[in-house]
Every structure is written in C-alpha cells, then in structure tokens.
Chain A
C-alpha cells in the first residue's frame, strides 16, 4: 500500500516538529526528572492548534484527518512522550468522543473550550477491579429526575490532575455486562467528584495519572453522552482511534531514540574509529530503522482506513501491538549503541526506554491487542 502524504500532511509533520523542538524539547528532561505536568505547554499547544486536531472547525478546532493527527502525535512523542500522551488522551479519548457522540448542545458547550486549551480532556474507564476486563466496571450512575448520581472509583486517569472535562464510563442500568454501561461528561469541580494523588511512574513521568473518586456526585442528565446503555460500544470506538494514537506515540519515541543512537554512533570513537564503522553497531542501526519503518506503515494504514471511514479496529490493534513492542525493542537497542552513558540521565535514550514501556500497556495491553486481532480472524 503506497503512501504519498499530502502537502498538508508533510507540512503538519514539519510544523509540529518545529514546534516540538522549539517549545517542548527544552523542558522534556526536566519534567521527567521532577514528575512535573507541563502545564505551561497547554496554552502553547492550543495556540498551535494541537488541542483541536480532532475537533471540527465549526467548534474551534482544526478538523484534521486521522493520518495528520497520527503524524502530529508521532512528532510530539519523538521529543517528549509525556506531551504526546497529554495531547493523545485529550484528543482521542475526550474530544473525539464528544465530537462524534455529543449532542449539538454538548458540542457547543464543551468543544470550543477544549480546542482553545481553556479545558483539557480526560477519559475514565479503568477501575481498581476493571482493567483489561473493562466491561466489569462497577462505578454507578443512578438516574434521579433530571440528574445522574455517580458513585465509584476510577484509576490511572491520564491528565486527571488538571483536566476540566472528563468522559466517564459508568453503569446506569441494571442490565448485566456491557449493556448497562453509559458514557457521561463530568466537569471538574462538581461536588462529590474528587481527584486523588497522582501515581509516581517509571516513564511518562510528566503525565498526570490520577485516581478519581465519585461520592454522590450529581451531574445533569443532559451530560449523558450518546444513548444510555451504549457506553461500552462508545468506549471501544474511542479506543479504536486511540490505539492508532498510542501506536504513533510509540513510533515517535522509537524515532527519537533512533536519531540519538545514529548521532552518538558517528561521534563516539573506540578502537580508533567511530563506532558507526563497526558492523555490530551498523546492524543494530539497520534493525532499528526497519522496525520503525514497519511500525510507521502500520500506523499510517490504520489512520488511513479511519480517515476514509473504513473499519479500522483490527488495523489499529495491529499497529498498537507492533509499535508498543517495537518501541521497547528499539529504545533498548538505542541504549546499547550508547553503552554506559545510555544508561544515565545525561542522554535522552534512558528516558525513551522508560517511556516506551507504557505503550505496551495502556489503551489495551499487548495481550488484549492479540485477542482483538485473533478474534477478527477466528470469528
């Protein structure tokens, strides 16, 4: 499948790269070391149109196609995976859901602020007892005249510490399993909605990952997102797009580490010549390059299918599975090329290696992606 990027996709890559190198690269190592969410970037991301990528123009966004979006996530992640997931979770998991499943009123109310950076978005599906088995979630939303009352707990919610607009999955009917689950828009600051202490993580340390607690939290019935009982289906659709985004994040992390490895290989001299002259190093570089190219092709394929409105769930699962594992492989090799210094905080590959691992876990583990792919062929 040959891909010829459009001029706009080429410009998206160039522009986001320029933005990321100017605005994000200077803080990437520091936010990692301090586990600090880069709140100062939100206004800049919004101004560059990077928070409204999946928001239609009439609601203040740029209305990008899925492939341009994936390219942008890759470019952000090439420099800083934390910024990559900040934008990805905001866009794929929150703005996309409201743009595609929201009523006209909901779109008018929430999307312009999400595009302008006035609000950042988040998505709450996972719970202490419902991870891979998301359908077993236990948070409840009980109808009380023109309100829903939420009770329960979510964990590992990306952007939790500062997001204003949350898409939350909760059980609103007695129907068993997936049929009882509905999606809601919940605003930060609602009485009974508490955001708890962020996790301290191995990688993407600047990303805010928090538990959420709902205790008799009342929200207007008008905040039901999509049909009642359709929540699980909506969540799965959200994740179909999101997985391409995470795969793109993984490609970006790998690409950044790869470039660092090439640079170092040409500079480091041992046995009288640059290590790049050693076949052992060349083979590592070649294998990394092929791995990244293969992963990027899978991302482009999934994004292209999505852009054309074709079914893309299985393609997204393939991209996410391959790219997550690929990023871990490639960043490991990038450290190997660096030798000892690669294991220190002085070089960016150490951070890339820690950041890469999460792409095998969130938005569905590699095992769950294999399940999705196998089901497609064995049904």
Chain B
C-alpha cells in the first residue's frame, strides 16, 4: 500500500509583510514546505513505518514546486519519494484546480490507501483542498483530525471536540486532513538532509496526467455568510439514538430534509 502526503511549497507567512491597507505581500517571503504539511509528513512517516507502506509526497504548483530545493525539503522530512505536478497553469491555482491535479496524480500512482494533508495551507488557508481531492477521488474525507491509526483495511481517527474526544473509523481509502497539533514536528537531521537528494522525484505536467482544461468551477452563490437566524434549539445527547432521531425530525420539520 502507498500512503500519500500532500505538501505545498509555500511562502512563509512569518516573512510576509502587511501593508497599511491590510494587503499581505508575500513577494519577499522565502518559500518552505508549509508548516502544517510538515505535520502530515511526520504523521505519515509513523503510519508508513507501522504499516510497512511506502510514503509518497504529492505536491502541485508552478515552476518553483519542482525545484530541487523544494522536493529535497519535503524528502528530508521523511518521505520515500515525491511526485510533483508542475505546470504554468498551476501557478497560484485555486483550491479546485489544485485538487484536480492532486486527485489525478494520486489516481495515477495506484494502490493508495490513505491521503494525508494538513487541514489548510500556511499562505492561503482556504481549508478546501482535502475535501475537493476526496470528492474527485470519490473517497470519504475526515477533517480536523488529531490522531490517526491504521488497522488492516481501515483507519481509526480521533478528533478533539469541546465535549471530549470523538473516535471515528472508516474503511480505506480515505483522505484525512490533520490539525497542526496532530504531532510535534521534528527538524530534519543532518543525515536526512544529505539523504534527501538521493530519493526519487517524478515531475509531471498536467498533460502527462491527461488533464487539459482545469477550472475553478462556477460560483454558485454570493450569499453573505451568516445565513438565517439561529433557532437556538438544543438537543439532549445523553441518548445518542434518540438525539439523532430528534435532529432528523427537526430538520424535516424545517424543510431541510425531504
């Protein structure tokens, strides 16, 4: 089995400057593997070691994403190999196009049981890519995940919720978006740095993946966020089955469910 980790070569927000008008200027910020993706790589390494799986990085972007320093930075963090989809069309691409390219790269790899990602990118932070990748692949997505364990053909995850820990398991394949607290990242050691350049890197264009016209999709709604006023209904969850039934009834009554 392969475990895929998505990683973005992104400008470091610590080095971005904010103008007087609130605009953010990344032009002088040095690029690095997105901090949250470093979490996903380290988590993936632990899972791959435990499961005897190969750990493959997938990165998508313009010319910079395929630079050796970009791929070595990710490889030094523990990946076994990296696939980069580098194409002028992917320069500054939005979540939909990025996810389309990622999904195609994952599908092309084959034998992928698990895709791990940070739950957002450091620079854009739209939190969209994992869900759209999962949608493209037709797999479930588990977001806001704080810990992951693999057992046979399924995955057990935990999410920290205000009320406690939520445990969920799902059959593979799945896409998982990890919180930045999922593991404490460790800086690559000197041997990791020197070994990074010896690991395989495959660079593909969109054409190599059979992708031609990518689109960000049509904007379907421009409604202001916030939505209708809340009704403030509180459902007692001490009996989960009864609570679920009550929720479904309430949604039906509101016309939200047919």
Contacts and interface: CB of A to CB of B under 8 A. Distances in A.
5 smallest A-B Cβ distances: which pairs?
Answer: A49-B190, A62-B190, A18-B187, A19-B187, A49-B189
A197 interface: no
A62 B191 CA distance: 5
A50 interface: yes
A14 B188 CA distance: 9
A8 interface: yes
Given A7-B68, A7-B72, A10-B69, A15 B189 contact: yes
Nearest to A7: B69
A52 B190 CA distance: 9
Given A7-B197, A11-B196, A15-B76, A48 B190 contact: yes
Given A8-B194, A12-B190, A62-B189, 12 more contacts: A7-B72, A11-B193, A14-B32, A15-B189, A15-B192, A15-B193, A22-B187, A48-B187, A49-B189, A49-B193, A62-B191, A63-B194
Given A11-B69, A11-B76, A47 B188 contact: no
Nearest to A65: B194
A79 interface: no
A8 B193 contact: yes
A8 B189 contact: no
A66 interface: no
A49 B193 CA distance: 10
A8 B197 contact: yes
B74 to A, nearest CB: 11
Contacts of B188: 11, 15, 18
A50 B186 CA distance: 14
Contacts of A15: 76, 187-190, 192-193
A16 B186 CA distance: 11
Given A11-B69, A11-B73, A62 B194 contact: yes
> Which interface residue of A11, A14, A50 has the most chain B CB atoms within 10 A?
A11
A48 B76 CA distance: 12
Interface string A116-152: 0000000000000000000000000000000000000
Contacts of B187: 15-16, 18-19, 22, 48
B73 A50 contact: no
Nearest to B32: A14
A64 B195 CA distance: 12
Interface in A44-90: 47-50, 52-53, 62-64, 68, 72
A72 B76 CA distance: 16
Decide if the interface of chain B is mainly helix, strand, loop or mixed.
helix
Interface of B: 32, 68-69, 72-73, 76, 186-194, 196-197
Contacts of B32: 14
A8 B188 CA distance: 12
A14 B192 CA distance: 13
Contacts of A68: 190
Given A7-B69, A7-B72, A12 B193 contact: yes
Contacts of A12: 190, 193
B194 A64 contact: yes
Interface of A: 7-8, 10-12, 14-16, 18-19, 22, 47-50, 52-53, 62-64, 68, 72
Contacts of A49: 189-193
29 contacts: A7-B72, A7-B197, A8-B72, A8-B193, A8-B196, A10-B69, A11-B72, A11-B73, A11-B76, A11-B188, A12-B193, A14-B32, A15-B76, A15-B187, A15-B189, A15-B193, A16-B187, A18-B187, A18-B188, A19-B186, A47-B189, A48-B187, A49-B190, A50-B189, A50-B190, A52-B190, A62-B189, A62-B193, A64-B190
Nearest to A44: B186
Contacts of B193: 8, 11-12, 15, 49, 62
Nearest to A49: B190
A341 B192 CA distance: 41
Nearest to A20: B187
A8 B197 CA distance: 8
A52 B189 CA distance: 11
Contacts of B191: 49, 62
A19 B76 CA distance: 14
> Which interface residue of A14, A16, A53 has the most chain B CB atoms within 10 A?
A14
Nearest to B193: A11
Contacts of B72: 7-8, 11
A87 to B, nearest CB: 11
A14 B15 CA distance: 14
A373 B76 CA distance: 40
Contacts of B190: 12, 15, 48-50, 52-53, 62, 64, 68, 72
Contacts of A62: 189-191, 193-194
A22 B42 CA distance: 16
A11 B188 CA distance: 9
A19 B188 CA distance: 8
A335 B255 CA distance: 68
Contacts of A14: 32, 73
A22 B197 CA distance: 25
A18 B33 CA distance: 12
A15 B73 CA distance: 9
A10 B191 CA distance: 14
A14 B73 CA distance: 9
Nearest to B67: A7
Contacts of B69: 7, 10-11
A124 to B, nearest CB: 27
B11 to A, nearest CB: 14
Contacts of A72: 190
A18 B189 CA distance: 10
A10 B188 CA distance: 12
